[in-house]
Amino acid sequence: MSIRLRPAAGLTRSFLQSGRAGVRRTPFSQCAIRYREDPAERAEKTTTIPESTQEPSPKDDGKPKKKSGRSVPAFSVTAIGLPIGWYLNDWYNSDGGARVSEPGEFVEYTLIGKENVSSSCAIFRLRPASNIVVDLDDPSTERAITSVEFKQPQLQIARSYTLLPQAPGQPMEELRFLIRKEQKGEVSNFLHRLPTGSKIEIRGLRTEYKIPADIKTALFLVGGTGIAPALQAADHLSEEANMHILWASRRREDCVGGSNDSTPVKRASSWWRGPASNDTKAQAVDLSDAENGALVTLLESLKAQAAATEEPSRRLLVDYFVDEEGSAVKPEDVKRLLSSLSRADSSAEGGRKLLLVSGPPGFITYWAGSKQWVNGREVPGPLRGVLSTLDLGGWEVVKL
């Protein structure tokens, strides 16, 4: 979704305060970047200029002397000093560390890499271009699925992209986003044309959905790049809930190396094109022996993280459905999983069950009904589509 940019009004400066963050678990999709400098270390870097100890000249008789040489006008000192002061204030505020961006403020990040996931999709890696950063440690975004807006400066529009969870070994200050090059996407095409080293203006964080604290079971219906919010939600719930992801992709290249954790997938009609055509099957590339792709690797990491918990019922399972291979998620699959997941967690008293649907508009409309615009804002809208015909038995449906 692209939005027209408007100047932000009523901006309030928000600086990092020492001792601000309490002790709490932060999922690695919300790792904060902080460039802190110890006051003692800063003192060592500060040059102290001693007071003058020169004796008065015998010729000094106390009378005013006419200055010789050229003097610097006062307005020149002011003109030079003010920008320097503003710069130093930005750099040395809050104990000499970074400051977080103000509400509505775009800040520059540097594109340090693009990892191709498929022929039309890549993972973009960004790092701060200065000491001003988006606030990833905002308490209001805890347990939230969050996104960041990317600016297209020529057209003055922006589009939101969901943050990916942090991969093993990824620097804390690095942000990653899964971005597909859409045929008519002004922002996505602009981003895919950028070379490594380019500056990108972003702002955020933006809360897409806040996960309730008492979720015990979660089922994710995912289409295409909708895997990004599912990954973030799975990261939040990895130590708390029993989870199952059903990920539908057009091509195997999007999920190279992925294998199903439940029963083998039967060939079926695709949710977007009906029965898979012979042309589609002929174009399919055999990637059965290929190494795991970046997204499958991240899913495997989250599965291992969930399996490491002391509670055996807290696990993450993933099933892959690929259109070019003739497989697709069927209503019977969803109905079966809703029933089995409910039975598995029947002993969890007071636990809520979350059914999250994320993906392109056609995917969401097919399964849960389209989103709607109300007073200039996009809202989920009523439950329709395939899920409205099933007995959900207390499952809460969320559209992303």
| pLDDT on residue 342 | 87
Q: Which domain holds residue 121?
A: 27-34+78-207
pLDDT tens for residues 210-230?
999 999 999 999 999 999 999
Judge if 224 and 345 occupy the same domain.
yes
- The annotation places the binding site at 159, 161, 178, 187-188
Judge if 260 and 370 occupy the same domain.
yes
- The annotation places the binding site for FAD at 159, 161, 178, 187-188
Considering 207, 237, 266, which residue would you say is the last residue of a domain? 207
| HEC string for the chain | CEEECCCCCCCCCCCCCCCCCCCCCCCHHHCCCCCCCCHHHHHHHCCCCCCCCCCCCCCCCCCCCCCCCCCCCHHHHHHHHHHHHHHHHHHHHHHHCCEECCCCCCEEEEEEEEEECCCCEEEEEEEECCCEECCCCCHHHCCEEEEEEEEECCCCEEEEEEECCCCCCCCCCCEEEEEECCCCCHHHHHHHHCCCCCEEEEEEEEEEEECCCCEEEEEEEEEHHHHHHHHHHHHHHCCCCEEEEEEEECCHHHHCCCCCCCCCCCECCECCCECCCHHHHHHCCCCCCCCCCHHHHHHHHHHHHHHCCCCCCCCEEEEEEEHHHCECCCHHHHHHHHHHHHHHCCCCCCCEEEEEEECCHHHHHHHHCCCEEECCEEECCCCCCHHHHCCCCCEEEEEC
pLDDT tens for residues 308-344?
877 766 889 999 999 999 999 999 999 999 999 988 7
Specify the CATH number for the domain of residue 142.
Answer: 2.40.30.10
Banded model confidence at residue 36, pLDDT cuts 50, 70, 90: very low
Judge if 198 and 224 occupy the same domain.
no
Judge if 253 and 278 occupy the same domain.
yes
Specify if 140 maps to a domain: yes
Judge if 236 and 186 occupy the same domain.
no
Banded model confidence at residue 124, pLDDT cuts 50, 70, 90: very high
Judge if 135 and 257 occupy the same domain.
no
Judge if 277 and 130 occupy the same domain.
no
Judge if 175 and 222 occupy the same domain.
no
Banded model confidence at residue 351, pLDDT cuts 50, 70, 90: confident
- Residue-averaged pLDDT of the chain: 78
Judge if 197 and 280 occupy the same domain.
no
Judge if 88 and 121 occupy the same domain.
yes
| pLDDT on residue 96 | 53
Specify the CATH number for the domain of residue 388.
Answer: 3.40.50
Q: Does the structure show a pLDDT above 90 at 62?
A: no
